[in-house]
Amino acid sequence: MESIGVLMPIPMNSYLEGELEKRFNLFKLWTVPHKAQFLKENADSVRAVIGNSSSGADADLIDALPKLEIVASFSVGIDKVDLKKCKEKGIRVTNTPDVLTEDVADLAIGLMLAVLRRLCESDRFVRSGKWKMGDYKLTTKFTGKTVGIIGLGRIGQAIATRAEAFNCPISYHSRSQKADVKHKYYPTVVELAANCDILVVACPLTEETRHIINREVIDALGPKGVLINIGRGPHVDESELVSALVEGRLGGAGLDVYQNEPEVPEELFGLENVVLLPHVGSATVETRTAMADLVIGNLEAHFLKKPLLTPVV
């Protein structure tokens, strides 16, 4: 398969790059000074594109690559891929579900603990020498808090299972009520927010879920509520979130994703009730290796005319 051209728009993972280079003719677009010219000159050679949560395949890129057959996303989210365009042109799309579920769910629980128990601020308290001047202030208990989850798919269910171990009552909102789920269902996000202590965003990003966390939802969650976002940045109206946190209308937030990554609102930097992570939900050695293997497996299956491992389109 060495002659098959595979385009990677941005750097993603060194192991993935190495494995692609062993099997295909890998084009690293970020190393090219004149990208448009490069795409024009190599358009007929590229048969696959590697996407992720930051870069995928929009309509312009798809139109620029007439021989494109498959977009293999190194992520579970596929919001950076123009699925409609792919369907029109018969381009296959794959992602990496399941293998990152546990890591993202672990991180969601970690954010809840970090926000409520002020773990990051406590760490800074010790490092700064302030402990010698007196004890750190009291924080908030996590065990027993009501956890509301938006999107009860693989990741949402994994978060619920972990939170239940802390004796947390679970409620959820999704497009429809799930028949085989015991947790309390709320038909709207506002109702869910009004009836939980911690609200977790764990749904896919679509046009319907963009800014699903707005001022009304934030106000329903209230000054003692905590928002956890391990979904996508655009799920949240970031300006409304910032103002609510600054004004004290929201109790706290744990964020792994942002609206314009890697840009993060500087107003959040000084708030001790906010924990900020650099989009690392699946960023463990074990999981990123498994994700890379799944990308490779999907590409090999496609070009060997075998069934795709994790097809989206």
Q: How confident is the model at residue 72 (pLDDT cuts 50, 70, 90)?
A: very high
The stretch 105-114 carries a mean pLDDT of 98
pLDDT at 75 over 90: yes
pLDDT at 1: 77
Kindly name the residue from 154, 215, 249, 279 that is annotated as catalytic: 279
Position 271 pLDDT exceeds 80: yes
**How far is Cα 151 from Cα 200, in angstroms, rounded to an integer?**
9
Neighbours of 98 (CB within 10 A): 14
> How much is the pLDDT for 278?
97
Q: What is the mean pLDDT of residues 5-13?
A: 97
Catalytic residue among 232, 235, 288, 302: 232
306 pLDDT higher than 90: yes
Domains of the chain with CATH codes: 5-97+285-303 (3.40.50.720), 101-276 (3.40.50.720)
- 232 noted as active-site residue: yes
Mean pLDDT along residues 1-13: 93
The CA radius of gyration of the chain, in Å to the nearest whole number, is 21
Q: Which two tokens stand for residue 78?
A: 């596929």
- Examine the pLDDT at 242 and tell me if it is beyond 80: yes
Q: What is the pLDDT of residue 313?
A: 85
pLDDT above 90 for 274: yes
| Amino acid 259: pLDDT | 96
The mean pLDDT value for 264-271 works out to: 98
pLDDT band, residue 117 (cuts 50/70/90): very high
Averaged over 216-237, what is the pLDDT?
Answer: 98
Give the mean model confidence (pLDDT) for residues 145-159. 97
The active-site residue, picked from 41, 261, 263, 286, is 261
* pLDDT tops 90 at residue 20: yes
Active site residue 261: yes
Mean pLDDT of 176-203: 97
- Integer Cα distance of 223 and 64 in angstroms: 49
pLDDT at residue 2 in the model = 76
Confidence of residue 64 (pLDDT cuts 50, 70, 90): very high
pLDDT-derived band at 44, boundaries 50, 70, 90: very high
What whole-number percentage of the chain has pLDDT above 70? Answer: 100
Residue 220 has pLDDT above 90, yes or no: yes
- What confidence category does residue 79 fall into, taking pLDDT thresholds of 50, 70 and 90? very high
Q: What is the mean pLDDT of the chain?
A: 97
